[in-house]
A and B are shown apart, each in its own frame.
Chain A
């Protein structure tokens, strides 16, 4: 089977124990306002234009048969919708400076497994393994389950980083082959969750309950977004969910703005004006909140 991924990252050390290989799946049902991997939202491959690499050589303009790209006062202007539908994408071939690229590629489960398995001795020595991330891995659940099975057959530790949006059937298929779920919890309040992620929180909480009842190993990941997720009310709501599901550990993911360039590069709009990054003191205060309630809490 084939899946669509953005990237394979070796020596990843922040997404599960030990030295890991991180596979970014493409496609995510949620559209979180603060998303720092916007290129992972859409399921298909997308054109990316990295302006600082562009030398204005015009090779792409002359090659394009689709009127997808034009030159405007010293920079290239792309009609991204047109480009993403274009089958030839000849501009990528023509660019000599890697300023135009494709985000997302199809990969067979065999090829992906070979890349993961190449680091098996690193996993063994560090207690590491593979983490399927994204995007949302369950958005390609058949491919995901096949990968999980193949990895477990090689005795590789498996983790899934999920937003929790999955069908019960898919989730149940994945559980036996998954050693660790890194489960995102963002906003406890249903209305706010819908507003900021475009999906209701209910099905996500049901899935969390299912995982918990199946005794899956779960670490909650909580994105700390100023003015959105950091209210006392939300922290209490998250803690309550954890308590009711008998969960032990929550890791904080402080917002960073490293992903903002990627919006523009993919012709996407960043809807939030300006989120401020936290200073370490504020993050520590949030960690203390969870520690006080006897949760294990680490800052990523």
Chain B
């Protein structure tokens, strides 16, 4: 490779966009600043001022429909697919109907929440451009990285003021802060970093709509069918009345959506009329024709199917403040349209996907600084390929190949690609997936479909055929049933690392002095462990119950109507998702990260203080409280105790025991829809901010260092026995017990070189999944290259690396997160 000359090994696979048009789209994206677009929220607010007194579902639908029908249709030069979330290339809608206070606090120069001081955003790439443009053009910078014009800003202030006491977050706060007995625990938990910041600014997502029905029927038919239900309806009880409202709301919102797409048809027609270039004119005329057909009527060919998917996807995206709103199994969805379209080929499909993926990446989100930092600007739009259908037959097809090639060419951060692994998948498809991994972008991630099917069989009791057909990943690594699950609307993450601080300090947070628990000083190993479990249980329970209060407010302020229309069987049952109308309502998870550090710490405590008598518990706790300063030799001994991820049962059993306790406990509380919470663990960017608020740990970790990432990824540097040992450890976990899971492996490019390198990678995945594991993803990069990219960011504008359940542009990542990715153990030859 020519990169050899730069003293590091470059990535093996390089490619470029298929057409100059898609090259242009990518470069335009990379060169664009991040903008806030207040148009949608202003229209929504205008309507909301007029709809006081309407039943909540009708009001929500009316306001959203009004805003949709009034958004400016923007068709950018070079676009063939119509429809954008904002008027800008990189734009975000500020959902102040969800949470106004983060913006108001920023305007008042107040701290948004306890965590914002610990969160970081990157400053390079498009973000750097935003900041410099703000300075040059007199635009205002908000939420750290977005631009807003001065006029928009004044109007936005009024909109924020309007929603201050009406938004979802405020309504929720009033409920739980007044009625929940453990409210102080939650507030203190935020203060010390036991929990992630309030999730109300972006609570939804992990949701995949029923695109199959949307395409097969078209909106017009769905409207007709729903109107038939309304006409045939006779109220017999209060639930029935609620159904009537839901159906009416559904019709309103679908008509608003039709207005939105018709505006695009008209705009395309208008632009075509003014266009002098005959080629572009023809493109615009075709776009107008397409927008008149879909999504109102079923698509007639492959191109229309892509447009129909995109409209429904976009309209769902606009309705809520989503993270992890996902396209799901796009190769399965589009295959019949591809198969029956005589004019389409893989070569012609590739640039269409390239454009689609630019469009997905162009969607930005603006929330609280904490949640922007946690997500690192990533919307976790997960597109999963392969897997098996209802009969258990493999799904991979030419559309799967086109999608992989499009991302090999483009390397956009969105959508993040995944593969449902199954023994029966075509080797050619798997080799293509391995090729994509070797571009270094970190996707596709591989998921074991059989493991999830087993989880869902037990959780939902649905027939195996249904589960197979609908299983997909919503968000980073959370499996769900596409088109039939309630979106996973959870409270955010619990920081297991913080619990170590609390156990070691009798329930008092050593960094803030805040008391969370009344606890004694543990004297035995069993006491240490049981104190942790007791604190973990209370932390989990309080978090779940707090969130159940919050979600009452969700139902009463921002119930999802458009999205419910496309989740089975809300329309049939006459109930939106907020009322439990989805076929699967046990998708709501309790999330946590950092358990590996707890397991490692327990292993060290047991071995050093009780088995080997190297030191007393008091001595160890004291050394940790001093951040190991003056206790370097003790720290070395702690680091030498086998940690999780080396296939030593001693450490691994510690983790497995805790994992089981966590899973069992989480299920003991019902979610706001009346079914048990589902245990989950993943990471996003939590290891960095969670680590920042934690003191040193008995496992040798120093104060402020990031926690172990993912669910079963070892603590950086502690896996000394190679990737196969990591996999052997990780495969001891019964992944069927949780919804989600995350294992990061980092390989030096030379370890995967050539066809044999790809085959070995696939053999590694197969071995893990036979055990059976659930998820694994790869960074294929030379750490020396990443260090070079830190020093010379100008040379790496489009470098994409895997972080957690998502990939990100290197230059737009915070320094702390960059360091964490570099620190992960690199498996080489």
> Closest residue to B750 on the A side, CB-wise?
A14
**A167 in the interface (beta carbon within 8 A):** no
Segment touching B, from A119-127, A184-192, A237-245: A119-127
In the complex, the answer to whether B760 meets A126 with C-beta atoms within 8 Å is yes
Q: Which residues of A contact B767 (CB under 8 A)?
A: 121-122, 124-126
Q: Determine how close the nearest CB of chain A comes to the CB of B729; give it in whole angstroms.
A: 11
In the complex, the answer to whether B764 meets A126 with C-beta atoms within 8 Å is yes
Q: Determine how close the nearest CB of chain B comes to the CB of A87; give it in whole angstroms.
A: 21
> Closest residue to B770 on the A side, CB-wise?
A121
**B129 in the interface (beta carbon within 8 A):** no
> Closest residue to B639 on the A side, CB-wise?
A98
Binary CB contact string for chain A from 1 to 45 against chain B (1 if under 8 A, 0 otherwise): 000000001111110011101000000000000000000000000
> Closest residue to B5 on the A side, CB-wise?
A279
Q: B757 contacts which of A9, A13, A59, A128 (Cβ < 8 Å)? A: A13
Q: Determine how close the nearest CB of chain B comes to the CB of A116; give it in whole angstroms.
A: 11
- Chain B stretch 720-734: residues in CB contact (< 8 A) with chain A: 721-725, 728
> Closest residue to A124 on the B side, CB-wise?
B767
Q: Determine how close the nearest CB of chain B comes to the CB of A118; give it in whole angstroms.
A: 6
Q: Which residues of A contact B4 (CB under 8 A)?
A: 280
Q: Determine how close the nearest CB of chain B comes to the CB of A21; give it in whole angstroms.
A: 8
Total interface residues on A, CB under 8 Å, equals 27
Which of B636, B721, B764, B767 has the most chain A CB atoms closer than 10 A to its own CB?
B767
**B632 in the interface (beta carbon within 8 A):** yes
In the bound assembly, the distance between CA atoms of A280 and B635 in angstroms comes to 45
Q: Which residues of B contact A125 (CB under 8 A)?
A: 763-764, 766-767, 770
In the complex, the answer to whether B760 meets A19 with C-beta atoms within 8 Å is yes
**B756 in the interface (beta carbon within 8 A):** yes
**B751 in the interface (beta carbon within 8 A):** yes
**B279 in the interface (beta carbon within 8 A):** no
Kindly state the interface size class of chain B when it binds its partner: 20 to 34
In the complex, the answer to whether A122 meets B829 with C-beta atoms within 8 Å is no
Q: Which residues of A contact B770 (CB under 8 A)?
A: 121, 125
In the complex, the answer to whether A13 meets B724 with C-beta atoms within 8 Å is no
- Chain A stretch 95-131: residues in CB contact (< 8 A) with chain B: 95-98, 118-119, 121-122, 124-128
In the complex, the answer to whether B724 meets A19 with C-beta atoms within 8 Å is yes
The number of A-B residue pairs with CB atoms under 8 Å apart is 72
**A287 in the interface (beta carbon within 8 A):** no
Which of A12, A13, A94, A125 has the most chain B CB atoms closer than 10 A to its own CB?
A13
Q: Which residues of B contact A57 (CB under 8 A)?
A: 632
Q: A118 contacts which of B633, B725, B750, B757 (Cβ < 8 Å)? A: B725
> Closest residue to A55 on the B side, CB-wise?
B632
In the complex, the answer to whether A14 meets B725 with C-beta atoms within 8 Å is no
In the bound assembly, the distance between CA atoms of A128 and B762 in angstroms comes to 13
In the complex, the answer to whether B724 meets A118 with C-beta atoms within 8 Å is yes
In the complex, the answer to whether A118 meets B756 with C-beta atoms within 8 Å is no
In the bound assembly, the distance between CA atoms of A128 and B633 in angstroms comes to 40
In the complex, the answer to whether B829 meets A14 with C-beta atoms within 8 Å is yes
Q: Determine how close the nearest CB of chain A comes to the CB of B442; give it in whole angstroms.
A: 19
Binary CB contact string for chain B from 625 to 648 against chain A (1 if under 8 A, 0 otherwise): 000000011011000000000010
In the complex, the answer to whether A18 meets B724 with C-beta atoms within 8 Å is no
> Closest residue to B728 on the A side, CB-wise?
A118
**B759 in the interface (beta carbon within 8 A):** yes
**B59 in the interface (beta carbon within 8 A):** no
**B87 in the interface (beta carbon within 8 A):** no
> Closest residue to A17 on the B side, CB-wise?
B756
In the complex, the answer to whether A122 meets B759 with C-beta atoms within 8 Å is no
Q: B764 contacts which of A11, A21, A98, A280 (Cβ < 8 Å)? A: A11
- Chain A stretch 62-121: residues in CB contact (< 8 A) with chain B: 94-98, 118-119, 121
**B827 in the interface (beta carbon within 8 A):** yes
In the complex, the answer to whether B633 meets A18 with C-beta atoms within 8 Å is no
Given contacts A11-B760, A13-B752, 15 further A-B contacts (CB under 8 A): A10-B721, A11-B827, A18-B759, A18-B760, A96-B632, A96-B633, A119-B724, A122-B724, A122-B764, A122-B767, A125-B767, A125-B770, A126-B767, A127-B763, A128-B763
Residues of A within 8 A of B (CB): 9-14, 17-19, 21, 57, 59, 94-98, 118-119, 121-122, 124-128, 280
A–B complex contacts, Cβ < 8 Å, 30 sampled: A10-B721, A10-B722, A10-B723, A10-B724, A11-B722, A11-B724, A11-B751, A11-B760, A12-B829, A13-B752, A13-B756, A13-B757, A13-B760, A13-B829, A18-B759, A19-B760, A19-B763, A94-B633, A96-B636, A118-B724, A118-B725, A119-B724, A121-B770, A121-B771, A122-B764, A124-B767, A125-B763, A125-B766, A126-B764, A280-B1
Residues of B within 8 A of A (CB): 1, 4, 632-633, 635-636, 647, 721-725, 728, 750-752, 756-757, 759-760, 763-764, 766-767, 770-771, 827, 829
